[in-house]
Structure 1
Amino acid sequence: MGSIVAELIPHPQSARGAVKSISVGIGRELPDALFVMFKLEGDLGRIQSIDPEGPVERADDLWQTTCFECFIRDAGKAAYREFNLAPSMGWAAYDFASYRQGMTPVETIRPSGAMGVTDRLLTLEALLHFPMETRPRRTFAWRIGLSAVVEETDGAKSYWALAHPPGPPDFHHPDCFALELPSPVAP
């Protein structure tokens, strides 16, 4: 299977501000990993928390400033995993038993990746690994939610996702798992 490119859309209550567009390339060529490449185009000088020289380390609360997010679950299941990837080079992963319930930090799966920055384009790519005991089932289709929080230097935030449920931004909502990736292996 090749990669899919999807465009994120701003939440109706969010102003685009410094962001022109956010796209995500995503592929499931390996049964035990997912490749993602986030591309943010805009006035990067106005966007908070971009530090390609920052330490690559696990950190909580990345979503409170500029952060890319990937949510993954087996199609038809309630449990899911959330990955946070920040252009400050921080990362985090959490398992949830169901919608916002049973959150457990995942410490052992540091993503590998790279980041590139120009005046108008931020590219963050990562290979998200799944340890054998915690990954979604490799022979199942996966439902994917892709999203971003973008904080500007003046403190304004915009919220981007494949789809938005009614009401305030909520990337954990089942409606946000808007992309299905088929299994790369036969069941």
Structure 2
Amino acid sequence: MASFELSAFQPTRDLSIVAAIESPASGIIQLGFWLNDPMQQIIWADKVAGHPRRDFLWEHTCYELFIGIRDQDQYIEVNLSPSGAWQSYHFEEYRYPETMPPPLNSKIELVELKRTGFGLTATIDINLFLHHHKIAMKDLFVGISAVIQTTAKTHYFAMQHSSPEADFHNKRDWLHQF
């Protein structure tokens, strides 16, 4: 298991996030997010049943996973809401196509998503994605990020920030490989 202390785009002492990722079996990704919110400022969406796919989750508190294929421009974005909703998008290259919402990715399956007392855990099956692209887990690199909405402002956390603005789509900031 690899863990990362996510860094805030604009430093804050009020929040911190540690993310962990592992692949216990080929094609399975397990994620955990541990959130420290001592002032209890986070705005949480109401829970929903059945883990529906919903767009625009990034407009509220949301955890995100970006999966890129080595030596290819295309990538996917997975949004995981503490509400229990989720979504996955496909991009051909950096933020393209520019449609809103972006094109859906149907090659990812949500196995489990739980909001916990400390944050969120999720299990994602990417076997269809791997099979479709004829690749293995070793061919992937991932970025982990979070949008945290508080009573004061919205915070952007990622493995690192190398752009002048918070930009989770910047592959330079995707630091994990299996």
The interval holding the TM-score normalised by the smaller chain is 0.7 to 0.9
Matches within 5 A, 1:70-89: 70-89=65-84
Give, in angstroms, the shift of residue 153 of structure 1. 2.6
- What residue number does 1:171 align with? 168
- Aligned mates of 2:103, 2:110 — CA distance in 1: 17
Residue 40 in 1 paired to residue 35 in 2?
yes
- Aligned mates of 2:72, 2:14 — CA distance in 1: 37
Which of 121, 124, 130 does residue 128 from structure 1 map onto? 124
- Aligned mates of 2:32, 2:133 — CA distance in 1: 20
5+ residue gaps, structure 1: 182-187
8 Å CA contact 2:57–2:81 kept in 1: the answer is: yes
5+ residue gaps, structure 2: none
The RMSD of aligned alpha carbons is: 2.2
- What residue number does 2:150 align with? 152
Equivalent pairs: percent with the same residue? 25
More helix by share: 2
Using a 3 Å threshold, how does the CA distance of structure 1 residues 7 and 170 change in structure 2: closer, same or farther?
Answer: same
User: TM-score w.r.t. structure 1 length?
Assistant: 0.81
- What residue number does 2:48 align with? 54
After superposition, what is the alpha-carbon deviation per residue over 1:109-157, rounded to whole angstroms, capped at 9, x for unaligned? Answer: 4412242443xx22x1111112255467215331110000000134x01
After superposition, what is the alpha-carbon deviation per residue over 1:46-99, rounded to whole angstroms, capped at 9, x for unaligned? Answer: 211244x42221110000110000001122221111100011111010111111
Amino acid corresponding to residue 129 of structure 1 in structure 2 = D
Number of residue-to-residue matches in the alignment: 171
- Aligned mates of 1:57, 1:43 — CA distance in 2: 30
8 Å CA contact 2:89–2:103 kept in 1: the answer is: yes
8 Å CA contact 1:22–1:39 kept in 2: the answer is: yes
User: TM-score w.r.t. structure 2 length?
Assistant: 0.85
Residue 23 in 1 paired to residue 21 in 2?
no
Matches within 5 A, 1:92-131: 92-102=87-97, 103-107=102-106, 109-118=108-117, 121-122=118-119, 124-130=120-126, 131=128
